[in-house]
Structure 1
Amino acid sequence: MQNDRCAKINRKTSETDIRAIFEVDGDGKSKINTGIGFFNHMLEGFSKHGFFSLNLQCDGDLEVDCHHTIEDCGIVLGEAIKEAIGDKRGIKRFGSSFVPMDETLVFCAVDLSGRPYLVFDANFTTEKVGDFDTEMVKEFFYAISYSAMMNIHIRVISGENNHHIIEAMFKAFARALDEATKYDDRVQGLLSTKGSL
């Protein structure tokens, strides 16, 4: 089994410059600076509730809008998750979580299958929360799904407050991913009848 499940990713384009350090078996502490306050808050919640250590710094073209920053952070975080998890031997592979937040209830399930796919069942009633475009929530999780090569299902069961809905999504994803990455002594090698993931 891998003892040090950690990854360091640097990605620089003409639109963003991102540095990330992600540790699966962390302590829930984070250092986040994306230039978007609400997005920082969501990533801090992801780190805290998944018990992941996350340092993510992004310099993005926010003078254009928030799209490149949020999407590219999803790409980098997905790459970091994939690299940190490693060969997936001995882990549960699947994880799911229901997270309530006041009037909101969100469900998330993940499969570290090596097959990227996102099912996103949610509607927002505002275009923005702070400087964060709500339409970018789906783009963020899509980017993670494809760069981490994982299947993600997110469904809003109830909810009215857009802040609560988005925050519950990030927390539910964190808890589902935490479960999926845990070691299980019953798992010999890879949890797949194909013998590969």
Structure 2
Amino acid sequence: MGERKADVRRKTGETEVKVRLAIDGAGKSVVNTGIPFFDHMLSSFAQHGLFDLEITAEGDLEVDDHHTVEDVAIVLADAFREALSDCRGIVRFSDVVIPMDESYATCAVDIGGRGYVVLKGTFPTEKIGNSFSTENIPHFITTFGTKAGINIHASVGGSNSHHMAEALFKAMGVALDKATLIDPRKQAIIPSSKGRID
């Protein structure tokens, strides 16, 4: 089985995003989106998912953070699809519960080609830091899951928005790490009765 890597770029009138991803990494990341808290979340996602991840994004942050967050989700999703190719041999399903102080997050994923996201939970503040809107957390996850063809069911609870967001991004990273692992019993098998993941 070849290396599961991808290098994807996207340029629009609103943003320019570059993502380099290695599924079978060591959790190393270099992230610069112009939104410090978002960088922190993406780095945490990579570290706990054991993905090697490089992201650079230049966006219209003078407007707000929406376009940058959305387009990073799109390009990261494209990178996952490309790196996983036909998904041959992967575990496919996983679920985790991640606590962080008073907060917790759950995440269940199915890398089955059917992009659908259900996220439950409300953040107590509108922003984390000076530039990251909490309304963009569900938008990021929904955009990523839908574009990547991943079914994601997640929930988050707590009283501190920072802790809640961090638990959620860690949970996604850990769940995707487990789901993308190669099962040695089915290395030559595409894990779907259809014979393809789409």
- Same fold, judged at TM 0.5 (above): yes
Q: Normalising TM by the smaller chain, what interval? A: over 0.9
TM-score of the superposed pair, with normalisation by structure 2: 0.96
Partner residue in 1 for 2:181? 182
Partner residue in 2 for 1:63? 62
Unaligned runs of 5+ in 1: none
Partner residue in 1 for 2:192? 192
Cα deviations by residue, 1:142-195 (Å, 9 ceiling, x for unpaired): 111122111011112x31111000000100000000001000022251122222
Cα deviations by residue, 1:67-125 (Å, 9 ceiling, x for unpaired): 00001100010110111111111110112111110011110011011011000101011
Q: d(CA) in 1 for partners of 2:111 and 2:194?
A: 14
Paired AA for residue 93 in structure 2: F
Note the 1:89-128 alignment, pairs <5 A.
89-128=88-127
Note the 1:1-197 alignment, pairs <5 A.
1=1, 3-130=2-129, 131-156=131-156, 158-187=157-186, 188-197=188-197
Cα deviations by residue, 1:10-34 (Å, 9 ceiling, x for unpaired): 1000000011101100111111000
TM-score of the superposed pair, with normalisation by structure 1: 0.97
SS of 1:20's partner is: strand
SS of 1:186's partner is: helix
SS of 2:86's partner is: coil
SS of 1:87's partner is: coil
Paired AA for residue 138 in structure 1: P
Runs of 4+ aligned residues of structure 1 deviating over 3 Å after TM superposition are none
Asked whether the equivalents of residues 30 and 53 of structure 2 are also in contact (C-alpha less than 8 Å), the reply is: yes
Count of aligned pairs between the two proteins: 195
Q: d(CA) in 2 for partners of 1:127 and 1:14?
A: 27
SS of 2:45's partner is: helix
Unaligned runs of 5+ in 2: none
Asked whether the equivalents of residues 86 and 196 of structure 2 are also in contact (C-alpha less than 8 Å), the reply is: no
Question: Please, what is the CA RMSD of the aligned residues?
Answer: 0.9
SS of 1:82's partner is: helix
- Among the aligned pairs, what percent are the same residue? 49
**Range with greater deviation from structure 2 (184-193 or 73-82):** 184-193
